[in-house]
Structure 1
Amino acid sequence: MGAQSRWLVIAVGLGIMLNPLNSSMIAVAIARLQHVYHLNFNVVSWLIFSFYIASAIAQPIVGKLSDLFGRRRIFLAGLVVSFISSLLAPFSPNFGWLIVSRIVQSIGTSMMVATGMAIVRVHITEKQATALSILSIFMSGAAAIGPFAGGVLLEWWDWPSIFIVNIPFVVISFFLAWKMIPKSQPASFEGRMSIRKWLAMIDASGIVFFTIGLVALLVGVMSANSSGYVSLWNGVVLAIGFAALGVFIRHELRTTSPFIPLRTFALYPSITWVNIQFMLVNLLFYALFFGLPSYLQMVRHVSEFHTGILMLTLGVSSLVASPIAGKWIDKSGPRPALVLSAILMAVGSVWIVTLNETSPVISVSFALTAFGISNGLNSVGMQAALFKSSPKEIVGVASGLFNTSRYLGTILSSLLTGIIMRGTFSFAGFRLLGVFLTAVALILVVISLRFQVSGQRKEASANNGVG
């Protein structure tokens, strides 16, 4: 890889790392923001919900927009949007404005994630795998260092610093991207595309139904959970949510350019199971990722700084496991690694249940290590399983569904935590969360073993046919 290619990878890497960095730094700031704005845990959780909902919607749209306007322009525009959100968020006059800033930040960082990988694939032809692995290190490293960085920033400054810290990365990435990313012509269209055709191309109707349905269901469930009963208003909101998602499913099955191609699930069952696994994996990982810092700070009264140091165990073990997983999966395929990953998540979840209010704080490192190694195995294994189960002609669609499953898992993790905590984070709620995570992890183990068995059966059948 030449010097120009290396600088291109660095420019893209500094941009795409902002999405996982900002989704992870907030983990150690939840307790502080809950105190600053005098809100309960459910309301503050919308800082997490809003980011992932916006990411789930923005990335597929941006992928289509990059064909219209060019990947370089979209990448640079994403940096500008991220700069604006990082600059304005610290001056939010109330929590509502902070939520808006998080949504804008999510859209900006998603613009870079959606186009960054494609830029490297197109413009780096030699040692492309090496370049893509470097980008993966930027993303996984940012997610790993996020809680630690957030803890340090909160220790020395205050919560606005977790937004301000983005600015130097954005500026450096913009300067390098402007210099290093080659200019390219966007896709040409016959005549000018009308607004109606443009909206149809990005499936604006599907996006609206999906957003209304998801947000309405989240609001209805969280409101009912906070009040302890389902009021008429809650019932109406929930009904709107279910109705909107019903219309969304009907619309996606009929439209020629669906936002989420649901028919792919029916045509390729193996892809369906991979996405179910990935959704459960992210549910487990992020429930721990956001729940454990709150346990340490609100139950054990550990400082943000020391919470960040403990959470670093999760990231380091994940980074160490990833390259080992790559070599193992190259030799044995993804299934053995995914089975071990599911077992480790089950062990880590059981360990959470065994913790009490006087357990040594360092003992949480055991659960973090189990989940960290599991995450390292999953980061390689799930992607390999996806490519193995996806025909080449639909690999783009399969990747889009894969990312959607990731964000649905993260949203479900926040929803599960919010329902269990009922507005106030407590030790009893944390232990109950561990029980639920154990149940989900055992389901994941069964699914992983099912893949292992079915794979062995298919291989045996193939061998018998040859013989």
Structure 2
Amino acid sequence: MTATGQERFDRKLIAPMVLGSALNPVNSSMIAVALVPIGAALGAPPAETAWLVSALYLATAIGQPVVGRLVDLHGPRRLFLAGAALLGIAGVLGALAPNLGVLVVARVLIGFGTCAGYPAAMHLIRSESRRTGRDSPNGVLTALAISAQTIAVVGPTLGGLLIGFGGWRTVFAVNIPLSLACLVLGALRLPRGGGHESGSGSLDVPGIALFAATLSALLLFLMEPSTAHWYLPVLAVAAGAGFAVRELRAAEPFLDLRVLAGNPPVLGTFARTLLAFTVSYAFLFGYTQWMEQGRGLTPTESGLVLLPMFLTGIVVSSTTGRSDGVRGKLLVGGLAQLVACALLLFVGARSGIWLLVAIAVVVGIPQGLISLANQKALYHQADPERMGSSAGLLRTFTYVGAMVAAAAGGTFLSGGADTTGLHGLALFLIVVAALLLVVTVLDRTLRRLGPAAVR
């Protein structure tokens, strides 16, 4: 039977959902090929330009669940438009920045400005499922996965082309037209209202502050792990304990820890996300920097070598996205990550371009599988009334993984992105990829995961 207009997903929502979800991944990955030219132009060493990566991760890790909770309370439209406007301001600031400090501020604003896209999209998908009574939006979830993760892979290619066309400032300036497109699409197509609690719920400000303090201390330590910074993990533990006490006592907690503790499948999804993106981001930034410094490629050439990641990820996501299976995607994706990390042990300063491209192809397989599988898992596992904050928390674990990756890169590539450093990083990533496979195999709930009735 053909679905009526009331029973079909509102397709006018897809464009703002996909574009909004893509803003954060593309900004987090474009910068990979811009670090070297920015450092050269501003006289900043790698230890300082690394803040351009870490600043966005920190802002995003904190901001995603906060904005997601606001989406749950007040609906997606206002948060989407506010984020888009902030992104445009950040684009102007970055394009005109006179020094590295201003660039870091611009990256923080980009991080906060891109926080609304993904939680808003997941909120809208759940809302449309309620309206239509059709609870298996595989096509829409696949579109989000392609926009979020395979676009993250094409980011270095896009960044390299932009730098070749107009210099590194174009990596920031490109956010201006993206912001305008989001403002127009959001204003014209996103529904007004739509919060599950009609905006009547209160925001747990103390809980948010303690959450931010916990993550800030933890991520700042991961950015520069050393015994001299021993106080940061201590602060993280203290703030985390305070956060737990606060959330367990609050009438309307920012994150309902009781619900999370009683939902092991969601915790498993968060853990898999952290492990998978530790590998993904360490590979992306470590491999890219090695190609430029250890192999001697230009930023544009490095971006083009990584292009097969994007193409492979698109093909894999498109061909597997409509299937309901989750466990199989995670197993194949985890195995592909393991193989890709092992292949890094065979590259050197004279490696042929064909080998570099082949590795990019292998990496594209998990790019097209793992994020899609975890996204589908979360859709079925999370509390529908907190879909926005749950989606935001999923992105938080994404960027905690990214920060672990940055710490690993800083450790193994501290003496420069040479082949020896890359091989050390590869060994670390092999261990993490193996752990992802173990966690997936041991999670029996994945066998039963599939379409569920609308709750």
Alignment-mate amino acid for residue 204 of structure 2: D
- Which residues of 2 match residues 157-172 of structure 1 at below 5 A? 157-172=166-181
Structure 1: how far apart are the matches of 2:77 and 2:390? 24
Q: CA deviation at 1:300?
A: 1.1
Q: Is the 8 A contact 1:151 1:308 kept in 2?
A: yes
Structure 1: how far apart are the matches of 2:176 and 2:161? 17
Structure 1: how far apart are the matches of 2:280 and 2:310? 12
Q: Which digits, 9 at most, give the CA deviation of each residue in 1:88-134, with x for residues without a partner?
A: 11222221211111111111111233324434654796796545544
Structure 1: how far apart are the matches of 2:86 and 2:312? 33
Q: CA deviation at 1:447?
A: 2.0
Q: CA deviation at 1:242?
A: 3.7
- Which residues of 2 match residues 101-120 of structure 1 at below 5 A? 101-119=106-124
Per mean C-alpha deviation after superposition, the further-off stretch among 178-187 and 402-411 is 178-187
- Could you tell me which residue of structure 2 aligns to residue 463 of structure 1? none
Structure 2: how far apart are the matches of 1:121 and 1:241? 33
Q: Is the 8 A contact 1:277 1:444 kept in 2?
A: yes
Alignment-mate amino acid for residue 308 of structure 2: T
- Could you tell me which residue of structure 2 aligns to residue 195 of structure 1? none
Q: CA deviation at 1:365?
A: 2.2
- Could you tell me which residue of structure 2 aligns to residue 211 of structure 1? 212
2:351 aligned with 1:362, yes or no? no
Q: CA deviation at 1:383?
A: 2.6
Q: CA deviation at 1:408?
A: 1.7
Q: CA deviation at 1:304?
A: 0.8
Residue in structure 2 matching 1:319, options 314, 322, 327 = 314
Q: Note the aligned Cα RMSD (angstroms).
A: 3.2
Seen in structure 2, the aligned counterparts of structure 1 residues 37 and 317 have a Cα distance that, compared at 3 Å, is: same
Seen in structure 2, the aligned counterparts of structure 1 residues 114 and 349 have a Cα distance that, compared at 3 Å, is: same
TM-score (norm 1): 0.83
Q: CA deviation at 1:26?
A: 0.9
Rg (Cα) greater in structure: 1
Q: Which digits, 9 at most, give the CA deviation of each residue in 1:244-282, with x for residues without a partner?
A: 334334433443433343334432223322221121011
- Could you tell me which residue of structure 1 aligns to residue 276 of structure 2? 281
- Could you tell me which residue of structure 1 aligns to residue 453 of structure 2? none
Q: Is the 8 A contact 1:282 1:409 kept in 2?
A: yes
- Could you tell me which residue of structure 1 aligns to residue 22 of structure 2? 17
Q: Is the 8 A contact 1:20 1:140 kept in 2?
A: yes
- Could you tell me which residue of structure 1 aligns to residue 410 of structure 2? 418
Alignment-mate amino acid for residue 169 of structure 1: L
Q: Is the 8 A contact 1:299 1:357 kept in 2?
A: yes
- Could you tell me which residue of structure 1 aligns to residue 452 of structure 2? none
Q: CA deviation at 1:223?
A: 4.3
Structure 1: how far apart are the matches of 2:166 and 2:32? 16
- Could you tell me which residue of structure 2 aligns to residue 304 of structure 1? 299
Q: CA deviation at 1:397?
A: 6.2
Seen in structure 2, the aligned counterparts of structure 1 residues 18 and 389 have a Cα distance that, compared at 3 Å, is: closer
Q: Is the 8 A contact 2:94 2:169 kept in 1?
A: yes
2:132 aligned with 1:155, yes or no? no
Residue in structure 1 matching 2:397, options 396, 400, 405 = 405
Structure 2: how far apart are the matches of 1:320 and 1:56? 29
Alignment-mate amino acid for residue 383 of structure 1: Q
2:98 aligned with 1:93, yes or no? yes
Q: Identity, % of aligned pairs?
A: 29
Structure 2: how far apart are the matches of 1:11 and 1:219? 33
Alignment-mate amino acid for residue 294 of structure 1: Q
Runs of at least 5 residues in structure 1 that lack an aligned partner in the other structure = 191-197, 460-467
Alignment-mate amino acid for residue 344 of structure 1: A
Residue in structure 2 matching 1:440, options 432, 435, 452 = 432
2:370 aligned with 1:378, yes or no? yes
Alignment-mate amino acid for residue 432 of structure 1: G
Seen in structure 2, the aligned counterparts of structure 1 residues 344 and 394 have a Cα distance that, compared at 3 Å, is: same
Alignment-mate amino acid for residue 64 of structure 1: R
Q: Which digits, 9 at most, give the CA deviation of each residue in 1:193-232, with x for residues without a partner?
A: xxxxx8xx4332233333333333444454455xxxx34x
2:336 aligned with 1:341, yes or no? no
TM-score (norm 2): 0.85
Structure 2: how far apart are the matches of 1:221 and 1:183? 40
- Which residues of 2 match residues 174-185 of structure 1 at below 5 A? 174-184=183-193
Structure 1: how far apart are the matches of 2:418 and 2:231? 30
Structure 2: how far apart are the matches of 1:122 and 1:392? 9
Q: CA deviation at 1:177?
A: 2.8
Seen in structure 2, the aligned counterparts of structure 1 residues 375 and 221 have a Cα distance that, compared at 3 Å, is: closer
Alignment-mate amino acid for residue 170 of structure 2: S
Q: CA deviation at 1:168?
A: 1.9
Instruction: Give the length in aligned residue pairs.
Output: 439
Secondary structure of residue in 1 paired with 2:254: coil
- Could you tell me which residue of structure 1 aligns to residue 203 of structure 2? 202
Seen in structure 2, the aligned counterparts of structure 1 residues 42 and 336 have a Cα distance that, compared at 3 Å, is: same
- Could you tell me which residue of structure 1 aligns to residue 63 of structure 2? 58
Alignment-mate amino acid for residue 106 of structure 1: G
Alignment-mate amino acid for residue 437 of structure 2: V
- Which residues of 2 match residues 15-94 of structure 1 at below 5 A? 15-66=20-71, 69-94=74-99
- Could you tell me which residue of structure 2 aligns to residue 428 of structure 1? 420
Per mean C-alpha deviation after superposition, the further-off stretch among 369-378 and 384-393 is 384-393
Q: Is the 8 A contact 2:64 2:396 kept in 1?
A: no
Secondary structure of residue in 1 paired with 2:152: helix
Structure 2: how far apart are the matches of 1:37 and 1:285? 28
Runs of at least 5 residues in structure 2 that lack an aligned partner in the other structure = 450-455
Q: Is the 8 A contact 1:61 1:202 kept in 2?
A: no
Structure 2: how far apart are the matches of 1:445 and 1:418? 25
Q: Is the 8 A contact 2:66 2:389 kept in 1?
A: no
Per mean C-alpha deviation after superposition, the further-off stretch among 370-379 and 109-118 is 109-118
- Could you tell me which residue of structure 2 aligns to residue 353 of structure 1? 345
Q: Is the 8 A contact 1:75 1:116 kept in 2?
A: no
Greater RCO between the two (CA within 8 Å, min separation 6)?
Answer: 2
2:263 aligned with 1:268, yes or no? yes
Secondary structure of residue in 2 paired with 1:110: coil
Q: Is the 8 A contact 2:62 2:215 kept in 1?
A: no
Q: Is the 8 A contact 1:76 1:178 kept in 2?
A: yes
